[in-house]
Amino acid sequence: MNEGVLSSMQEFDHEQVVFCQAKDVGLKVIVAIHDTTLGPALGGTRMWPYASETEALRDVLRLSRGMTYKAAAAGLPLGGGKAVIIGDPKKDKSQALFRSYGRFINSLDGRYITAEDVGTNVFDMECAFLETDYVVGTDPTHGGSGDPSPFTALGTFYGIKACLNKVYGDESLKGRTFAVQGAGKVGADLIRHLVKNGAKVIACDIDKDKVNSLKQEVSIETVPPDDIYNVKCDVFSPCALGAIINDKTVELLKCKIVAGGANNQLERIDHADILKKRGICYAPDYVINAGGLMNVFLELEGYSRERCERMVQNIYHNVGRVLKIADEMGVTTARAADVMVEEHLEKVRRGSRMFTMHPKHALRDVHRRR
């Protein structure tokens, strides 16, 4: 097992992976710190009923690496990290579980800062916050910024407009058809933006209650989850789990653009090559979905919603820059984004390689002022 874990860490060049368990509360969690070149690792905590520990490890390694690239692409002084709790968020949550989790996070002494993610929410983070300062996205009554998902959706919306401008020469959504996979917090908010701006939306979710509830609020069509790839549309927008662009689905897509809020949308990097050959413009996920990270980062400097909204608008330009680099280099947009990030990281690595102590201005002092 150890050899497998270390080999996986070397594959993605992770600094640290921590396994924690508390049998009395049913906690089983893996924390992955990918790279702290730019600053402390920040990334959400995902709770999911993984089929195996191997699957959970694979997910947290991919997700944490994506957070490094997301922070760098967004120009933030943060490293990349992620945590996954193995469990069913509908059945296995408790205050004791998240307080125990908070104590584990605290033992990392600021190398990893957490927030909510798929399967967790602000209340869960509030429970962890009782045991550690290294939590962002807490309730505004505690000086936090609350749920970051609206800003993930907003940034994705701006990134989609950049893709529309590139492909059609016009960023207007009127008359455009969108196939949105996922009607959770990010997907639902994105759908609201799309409909408000005149788009036709066809949506799906594995949770029928979510998509049916949204259907009562806004005018959308729905399809079963397996049918979303076959929808003829201008934009396919993945807003659920990762690895959904794979050998099976990549040839099914009937769109000109893939741009959504999900992490790790490509199962393998060569799927970006297939999208390019098919004439499909792909917005690299860690560039387009950075709005939520921007939101919680601002808690470290003193949160301002207005400043966050201005910062998130830059995702339009960040996506546009990646599209331009891809054209100039003659490579996929996925490769262009990686080149942009890796060049930035290499410049910083010429200084200090690893973050080891929380900066004086960061989270602990912020929380003490609340």
- Separation between Cα atoms, residue 6 and residue 22, nearest integer Å: 23
Largest CA distance in the chain: 58
Paired strand residues for 180:
203, 237
5 close to 57: Cβ distance less than 8 angstroms: yes
Residue type, 107: S
Output the six-digit token pair for 314: 């830059």
| Whether residue 28 lies in the annotated active site | no
Report the 10 Å Cβ neighbour count for 202: 18
Output the six-digit token pair for 20: 């924690």
Q: Burial of 3 by CB count in 10 Å (0-12 exposed, 13-18 middle, 19+ buried)?
A: exposed
24 close to 81: Cβ distance less than 8 angstroms: no
Paired strand residues for 82:
32
Q: Which of 28, 70, 82, 276 is catalytic?
A: 82
CA atoms within a 13 Å half-sphere pointing along the CA-CB vector of 220: 31
Provide the annotated active-site residues: 82
